[in-house]
Amino acid sequence: MEKVRVNLGPGYDICIGEGILSGLGPALNEYGLSPKTLLVSNSSVDKLYGDKVSRSLEKAGFTVAREVIPDGEEHKNLQTASRLFDAAAAARLDRRSAVVALGGGVTGDMAGFVAATYLRGLPLVQAPTTLLAQVDSSIGGKVAVNHARGKNLIGAFHQPLLVWSDLETLQTLPYRELLTGLAENIKHGIIADTSLFYYIRDSLAAILAASHASVAEMAARSCRVKVGVVEQDELEQGLRAVLNLGHTFGHAVESVTGYCRYRHGEAVALGIAAASRLSHSLGILPEHDLKEIISLLERAGLPVSGTGLTPGELYEALAYDKKVVAGEIRFVLPVKIGKAEVFQGLQQEDILQAFRTVC
């Protein structure tokens, strides 16, 4: 088992290993928690791993209230959160009760939001079962639910007590879900780790086959990129914004398509493609790097164009982006493979042009 230490708040560990889910209960015994816990997962994950995790917790002395939420981004809202608050109250959780999020990004974000706000904050244990959650959403403390007007509009910063990543769960992950996680790994390479980018390029076939060794190597490196960035900027005052590469454009795509048509990582891939082309057309990103980026996304089977949307409707959706401050949108653009920066004061025409490349 590999441990990555995160120095935020009191500090916590990301534990990455193969077949470690059944060890979660004993691991939690180290933290002085109350016996009552709330285990949150979605219907598909609960069927696969709910019993295993529940048994592990119970054997370690915990009482487990198990709550299964519906699967899918469209349920990541205040109504579903409200059901989890009901479950927390019915289970009579107290301030040292852990909320365990077993699942992907939606489960982690929702259970995390409930953990951040129930009794003004409960210990949160992230047990991510998707590649996306393992290398991205479970790390860094961002938790949220969507609002009809935009993604993640309601949320908090709430660092977990522990992240417990079992790579074995990737074996049961649908291929499209593996791909959506891959987009974030590629993003981590582009913004901060040239060698990670080329590692993914050179090991793509093995990664797409969910080969343990290749995915483990990629996931651990990718975690370190994210940890390195959030440690320097927990509350997204500056540097952390580079993690949003592809996300400003990508959120607009998700928003216009109602969070249904594209998986998050697919929308991010479209966003990375748009941002990279814009960066190149502004004379920032070299042509060689642009070609490498587009080619890797395409070889991975991720979308880079052809959404059938209009630039105008995508531009309109930007107004609800959290990253808009005082009417000005900040964009993250790749400078080269391995480095991204935040740009302000871009012209509307540039942004429309970037959107046009994915329409």
- Candidate ranges 2-10, 89-97, 280-288, 309-317; the one touching its own copies (CB under 8 A): 89-97
Q: Which of 151, 187, 221, 247 is catalytic?
A: 247
Q: Check 158, 188, 263, 264 and give the catalytic one.
A: 264
Annotated catalytic residue 251: yes
Q: Output 90 or 205, the one with its CB closest to its own copies.
A: 90
Is 158 an active-site residue?
no
**Annotated catalytic, 291?**
no
From residue 166, alpha-carbon distances to 54, 133, 265 in Å are: 15, 11, 20
User: Using an 8 Å Cβ cutoff, are 20 and 1 in contact?
Assistant: yes
- CB-based contacts of 5-11 (< 8 A; 24+ apart in sequence): 6/139, 6/159, 6/163, 6/227, 6/230, 6/231, 7/231, 8/140, 8/141, 8/159, 8/230, 8/231, 8/234, 9/141, 9/159
- Please identify, using beta-carbon distances, which residue of 142 and 188 lies nearer to its own copies: 142
What are the strands of the beta sheet with 63-69, ordered from one edge? 2-6, 12-17, 162-166, 124-128, 99-103, 36-42, 63-69
According to DSSP, residue 14 is labeled E
* Residues numbered 304-333 forming contacts with its own copies, rule: CB under 8 A: 319-320, 322, 324-327
Least separation in angstroms between CB 149 and its own copies: 4
Residue appearing with tokens 């210990």? 123
262 is a site residue for its own copies (CB under 8 A): no
Respond yes or no: is residue 201 known to be catalytic: no
- Reduced to 3 states (helix: H, G, I; strand: E, B; else coil), residue 120 is coil
Candidate residues 3, 5, 95, 288; the one interacting with its own copies per rule CB under 8 A: 95
State which of positions 120-139 bind its own copies (CB under 8 A): 120-121
Cα angle, residue 253 at apex, residues 240 and 155 outer, rounded to 5°: 45
**206 makes contact with its own copies (CB under 8 A):** no
Q: Does residue 213 touch its own copies according to CB under 8 A?
A: no
Part in contact with its own copies (CB under 8 A); list of ranges 116-124, 161-169, 203-211, 284-292 = 116-124
CB of 150 to its own copies, least distance (A): 7
Strand partners, 329: 324
User: Does 334 engage in binding with its own copies (CB under 8 A)?
Assistant: no
Active-site residues, by number, are: 120, 142, 184, 226, 236, 240, 244, 247, 251, 264
